[in-house]
Each structure stands twice: as structure tokens, then as C-alpha cells.
Amino acid sequence: MDIAPIIDKLNTGLFIGGQWRDAEGGKTVDVLNPATGDLVTTVADGSAADAEEAIKVAGDTQASWAATPPRERAEILRRAFELLIDRADDIAAVMTAEMGKPFAESKGEVAYGAEFFRWFSEEAVRVGGDYTQSTDGKTRVMVSREPVGPCVLVTPWNFPLAMGTRKIGPAIAAGCTMVFKPAKLTPLTSLMLVDVLVEAGLPAGVLNVVTSGSARRVVTPWMESGIARKLSFTGSTEVGVGLLKQAADNVMNTSMELGGNAPFVVCEDADVDKAVAGAVQAKMRNSGEACTSANRLFVHSSIAEEFSTKLTERIGSMTVGNGLEDGTEVGPLVDQDALDKVTSLVDDAVAKGAKILTGGSQIDGKGFFYSPTVMTDVPQDSEIRITEIFGPVAPIVTFDTDDEGMALANETEFGLVGYLFSENLERSLRLADQMQVGMVGLNTGLVSNPAAPFGGVKKSGLGREGGKVGIEEFLEIKYVALPRT
């Protein structure tokens, strides 16, 4: 697939106050294709001064945007949804070129990401309030919801469209202006999203985008500005904790979707074929580079051999290659650091006694490819048991009782998502209640859904994105007391 004509038409500058422009000093940063290591293009490398200008514009625009009728905001989102669907092939091709996932998965992300715009277009006109009276009957109690104010949005590289729409959608619906920092590894998809929103009629100054090779250089001025009132961040727990400390200085509203270490529990009464299909879906989506990826597979000892054999057959037969080539099922990891991390985790587990059933090594040649891997007998002291892998590696551990399975599932400081396979409804619901996570997939390897609240507990984050509660993260409650006469 030749993406050069699409790349040639891209706006690759900063987008501030409704205008595309160069970064301060004309600096740029390279965007590479992880399947080949080749240069895709360059984008503006924003400075602290660029960031300061962007947040000032967002602050200046907030009042007028908040006064925009909800229906008008809704129609902008609806038009943007339709444009994303119309341009799915081009956006997916660029996404694959900069991030590596197979083209079919990229198209799936466009459909998924676009749905957040449709969902929040419908929520924009349903922001409500309340009207009651005080207990003594002397005061009318009027409660309304209003935009929280200018928002700082920071997204990761692994889902470059959906992570943007999941934040931008509710912010627009609620009436908030934004400053947006896309991931430095995958900025192009986000810039295509900006073009879509402009064409859909988003007014100048509502969304301001600063790409940069340094997130700290851009985000710190926003956090310290005193203008931003909300931070929505998706990324590592380590970075999230640092941002929470910065947010405290200005008592900013925050929502955070942070690291994961998802357990995938297969009970003795599970449908093994269904569990294997779910494991492939939960583990291999995005080459395992997802916060929702099944990180630790716990399988009842009575079915472990059958499950491991079938999973090995399926994962071992997957086609690895450039995501822009037909038939590719597993793309590259995003960069050399990601490849080195996965290699180190697997090597450590093997050195401590883990057994490789398939894969277990880097793939020679261009790009950052790691072979789809299944391993068993993974010792408790292996780093892979406690670290988010972010790669196509499925470590299997056995258990003998439900209590043991739940103890293994919960022995982590993270709590984003868990997966549970059982054909017994009572057991499924009981164990789902015991899982210390924000989301549970029962007999499914896919939990992400724009109509559902996405988020975790413990060190996996704060707040929820999507669903009916998603817009609440961008609203404040105001109470007006009116004496009865």
C-alpha cells in the first residue's frame, strides 16, 4: 500500500487558535515506521513558548465556547463522526505506518474511535440538573452542571485515534476548550483528527494541538499556567503520579487511565475453545501493546495442557509482518525500547525456569519485530509476573482452586481489567466480584466499548472515560440557593 500521497497532504505543524503554523524556530521531530525503521515524515517540535500560547488561546476561548448551544456542539461531533468513517482507509493507513498495527486493526480503531464522537454527540444535549427544596421548605435548591474549563489532554501512542476521541469527544460535548499533546511516536493520526474537526465546524481556539519530542516541555507549562482546570491523561503510572503532584499545586480536576497488569483466569469448567479465542483477542490485539492486554494467564491445572496446546497452535501460526501488507496478523513493536523490554522480560523468565512453547525471540531483519510467544511454568519471581509486558507474549501459570486463582489475579498493584472464563453463571459473578479491577470481561477478550465506563482502580487510575459517566469528568456542579417568598 502506497501511503505517500496521503502523507504529502497532511498538515504537520502546530494547530493553535485555528491556524496551522511552524514550531518556534522551525524545529521538527521525525516520525518513523516501526516495521521498517524508515522516515514517514516530520512534524513540528513544539516549545514551551508554543505551549504557553496554546493554553492562553484555550483560556481566552472558554467563555464563548461554553455559551455555545448544546445542539450545535452535538452537530459538530456528529459531522466529525461521519467524516472519520468516510476517511477510514486513509486514517488507518497512516496509523499503521506510524504505529505498526495491522491495517485491519487500524480500521477497527477508526470505527471504535469515531463512535466516541457519535456517543458524546448524543450526550451533549442531555446534560441535566436538579430542582428541589430545602428540608425546612424555605429555599429553592437549583443544581446545574457547567464546563469544568480549559482541559489538558495527553494521549499515548498505542491507540492514537481512539485515545484522542475518547477525551476530545466529551470535552467538546461539555463545552470545554482544550490543549492537546499527542504522543511523539504517533502524532500523524491525531493531526488527521484535527483536520476532521475543523471541517466539521469546530470553532477556532477550542482545540489547540502542540506536537513535540518532549512531553514535559509542553505539558509542564500547561499544568503550571493556572488557566487549565482539568487534566485527562492516559499513559504510565509513573508519569501519571508525577502529573497528579503537579495538578495538586493548582487543585486541578484529574482523570487518569494508567498502567495495567490484567489477569486472564480460566476456570476448570470453562469452554476451552472459547477461552483460547478470548486469550488470542485479549493478548494479541495491537501486538499486545494495550493496557487491556491479558498480561498474566492463570489456567486451572485440569485443563492447562489442553489450553496451552491450543493457544500455542493459534498464536504460533499467526503471520508477522508489515501492517500495510495483506495477511499480516501481528505487526512490529513500536520502537527499539519496546523490543528490548519484551526481550528482557522473556529472557529473565526463561533463565528462571520458564518453558517456551512457541516464539521467544526477536525476528531478524528490519523493524522491531518479536515472535508471538507462549510460555509455561513461569516462576513467581519472574519479572514478567509483575511487569506490564506490552508485547505479544502470553505467560501461563496454573492454579487448583478458585481462591488460589483469585489470589494470583489480585497480587498486583494495578487494577484496570480482568478476564474470567467459566460456564457457571454463579461462579462467574462471584469471582468477578472478587477481582480487584475496574472492568471484567466474562467469557470475552474484549471490554472496550464507547457505551461503557472505561477505567481502573488501585494504581491503574482515577475516573472513567466513555459511557454515561464519561461526560461527567468534564463538568462541575453548581448550586444556587433561592429563598422562597
Please identify every residue annotated as catalytic. 257
d(CA 445, CA 418): 9
- Using only C-alpha atoms, the chain has a radius of gyration, in whole angstroms, of 23
Strands 151-154, 139-147: pairing is unpaired
Q: Is 8 exposed, middle or buried (0-12, 13-18, 19+ CB in 10 A)?
A: exposed
d(CA 464, CA 472): 9
Grid coordinates representing 421 are 472464563
Q: Are 367 and 36 in contact (CB under 8 A)?
A: yes
- Determine the Cα angle at 413 with ends 407 and 414, to 5°: 95
The conformational region for residue 367 under phi > 0 = left, psi -120 to 50 = alpha, else beta, is: left
Q: Kindly report the number of other CB atoms within 10 A of residue 452's CB atom.
A: 15
d(CA 199, CA 251): 35
d(CA 338, CA 443): 30
d(CA 109, CA 114): 8
d(CA 463, CA 151): 15
Give, for 199, the enclosing helix (H) or strand (E).
Answer: helix 187-200
**Which residues have CB under 8 Å from 450's CB, separation 6+?**
112, 115, 116, 118, 119, 166, 466, 467
Q: Identify residue 85 by its one-letter amino acid code.
A: I
d(CA 47, CA 244): 22
**Which residues have CB under 8 Å from 282's CB, separation 6+?**
262, 264, 292, 293, 294, 419, 441, 445, 446
- Determine the Cα angle at 80 with ends 78 and 85, to 5°: 100
